[in-house]
Amino acid sequence: MGKKVLIISSDHTGHGHKSITESLYEKIEMDPDITVHVVDGFSLGGHSLMGIGKTYGPITRHSENLWKMVFNFSAENPTLINKFIEKLIRFNFLKLLDEIKPDIILSVHPNFNGSILNILEKYLIKIPFVVLIADLVNISPLWADPRADYTISPTIEAKDKCIGYGVPANKLKVLGFPVRSRFFRESVNKKSIFNEGEPLKCLIMSGGEGVGNMKDIAEILLDHFDCHVKIVAGRNKKLKSTLEQSLKSRYGNKVDIFGFTKNIQDLMFDSDIAFTRGSPNVMFEAISSNTPIIITGALPGQEEDNPRFAERLNLGVICKDTSEIKFTIDQLLGSNAEKLKSIINSQKKYIKPQVAEEIVQFLLEVETSEEWKFQLA
């Protein structure tokens, strides 16, 4: 008998949750015995909760300090957040369960773990509930609910944080960070080692919301190095327009500017270096594509230790100040690009193309409860 999987994700709080869901979905759809239903958790709360979810982009683009306050408040008041969201989503969530009757629920967004577990507990609904953490080091307490049947962690650091929050070690599984298959190189786009004397191909990106000082980075690169620069402004249409007006007239075909693109992996494959912020999804997609990363910053809260995580494993380097970009590039390219090549080799050893498949396999092995029935209140 087939297995029905309900995935609680998010379409508007960055692109990471959606990308993780897609990485799992492409593995699930290969198995005809699995049926998957994906829902944006914010949509379960109607217009009010959806409106809250849609504020993520504007806040992270325009006010990192405000985002830090939001993150800290939710981290300090998980019980309050869980009860608030529970009240908003209860009716639609119960209705959804009655319609699809899932065998297992997977949450890839922290805002819906405690709230959904509250509902399942109150209505005596016995469905295995699994959490898949989408952050690397700085884990909000909203991710860590001891009542979940299992919590899948991408890193040892995240696992240790969850244990500190009270999640039993035997409920934690470290399986890695799932990345969509198209970001892994094949023979047709095999990584080529950078050779001195060739133009440096640089990619500047900043996650789906397009935040950061892309213009300054591009100008420093184009003014000091023989290079070609590609910039991905994400969903930030205003930023894309501004960059086009300020850079294309000065540098012509040495710079290309893109909005949100579904073919970001091709840009990574064609780049020697990728400049990015500390978004775990963007970082891991670049690492999976075997493209050395220069991390230019991170959102406060859940991203702030991600740059050090990458640098410690020699998957990239940190360069928070644009005044250090020239020095950083010189260091990477010095001695016949020795440092750049060492990062490429470290990434090759770290890459795990099978993570998404292993997560799906784990979900299939979770024992499902006997048939359940309930009535809407």
Q: Is 173 a member of any domain?
A: yes
Positive or negative torsion for Cα 84, 90, 91, 96? positive
174 and 221 inside one domain: no
pLDDT of residue 271: 95
| Chain centre distance of CA 134 | 6
Is residue 122 located within the same domain as residue 235?
A: no
Looking at the fold, whether 15 and 159 belong to one and the same domain comes out as: yes
Residue 253: other Cβ atoms inside 10 A: 7
- H and E: helices and strands count for the chain: 15, 12
Which residue do the tokens 């086009």 mark? Answer: 244
Does residue 146 sit in the same domain as residue 238? no
**What is the distance between the alpha carbons of residues 43 and 64, in angstroms, rounded to a whole number?**
25
170 shares a domain with 37: yes
What is the signed CA dihedral for 86, 107, 140, 44, rounded to 10 degrees? -30
For residues 247 and 290, state if they share a domain: yes
Domain assignment present for 326: yes
**160 and 272 in a common domain:** no
User: Considering the domain boundaries, does residue 145 fall inside one?
Assistant: yes
Tokens at 27, concatenated: 């593995």
Read off the CATH number of the domain in which 105 is found.
3.40.50.2000
Judge whether 370 lies within some domain. Answer: no
- Mean pLDDT, the chain, rounded, equals 90
Q: In order along the chain (377 residues), what is the average pLDDT of each group of 10 residues?
A: 88 82 91 90 92 83 83 92 96 96 95 97 95 95 97 97 97 96 84 78 72 83 95 84 89 91 91 93 95 92 93 96 93 93 95 95 80 48
The pLDDT, as a whole number, for residue 62 is 75
Q: pTM to 2 decimals? A: 0.90
| Other Cβ atoms within 10 Å of 127 Cβ, number | 18
> Hey, which bits of the chain come out as E strands?
3-9, 34-40, 104-107, 129-132, 150-153, 172-174, 200-205, 227-232, 255-258, 273-276, 293-295, 316-318
**Contacts of range 327-331, beta carbons closer than 8 Å, 24 or more positions apart:** 328/294, 329/200, 329/221, 329/224, 329/225, 329/273
Q: Is 296 helix (H, G, I), strand (E, B) or coil?
A: coil
Residue 371 lies in a domain: no
DSSP string, 304-349: TTHHHHHHHTTSEEE--SGGGHHHHHHHHHHHHHHHHHHHHHHHHH
**Domains identified in the chain, total number:** 2
Give the HSE-up count for residue 297: Cα atoms under 13 Å, Cβ half-sphere. 19
**79: containing domain:** 3-181+354-365
Residue 373 in any domain: the answer is: no
Contact 296/215 with Cβ under 8 angstroms? no
For residue 172, tell me if it sits in a domain: yes
pLDDT of residue 1: 56
Q: Tell me: the pLDDT tens digits for 97-156?
A: 999 999 999 999 999 999 999 999 999 999 999 999 999 999 999 999 999 999 999 999
**Residue 62, burial from CB neighbour count under 10 angstroms (0-12, 13-18, 19+):** exposed
Please report how many Cα atoms fall inside a 13 Å half-sphere around the Cα of residue 275, on the Cβ side: 31
Same domain (yes/no): 50, 193: no
Tell whether 309 and 341 lie within a shared domain: yes
Kindly state whether residues 77 and 38 are assigned to the same domain. yes
Q: Are residues 144 and 32 in the same domain?
A: yes
